[in-house]
Amino acid sequence: MIYVGESADLTTVGFPFKHRRSPNWIDRAGSKYNLHVAYFEIPGGLPSHRQQICEELMAIYDPSCNEEKFEKTWKDEWIGEYSTPVTDPLTTDRDPNTSH
């Protein structure tokens, strides 16, 4: 993950190739044909919801093309322990509990 951002409409920010950060992404990918894009639509999500998700992703993954930097803010006691089929560990070697 090299960039995290949010928008109500991706076409208004020129996503992906007219976005102001796209030259950085293409450079990192080697060409525009190697660039992979993922998005997550939040049904009924407000801009504040999208921004909060972005800030948490930036705190955990520290994407290199983002100018903003955030510290990890979640505390275990806010959520408590629980188990569901989707609470397996992340599929990345990044540990959100250590500094980068």
Which tokens go with 93?
Answer: 């070697």
- Give the pLDDT confidence score for residue 27 in this predicted structure: 92
- From first to last of its 100 residues, the chain has per-residue pLDDT tens of 888 999 888 888 888 899 888 999 899 899 999 999 888 888 888 999 999 999 888 888 888 888 888 877 666 666 666 666 665 666 666 666 676 5
pLDDT at residue 48, rounded to an integer? 92
Listed residue (28, 31, 22, 52) closest to 40, CA to CA: 52
| Cα dihedral across residues 70, 61, 86, 47: positive or negative | positive
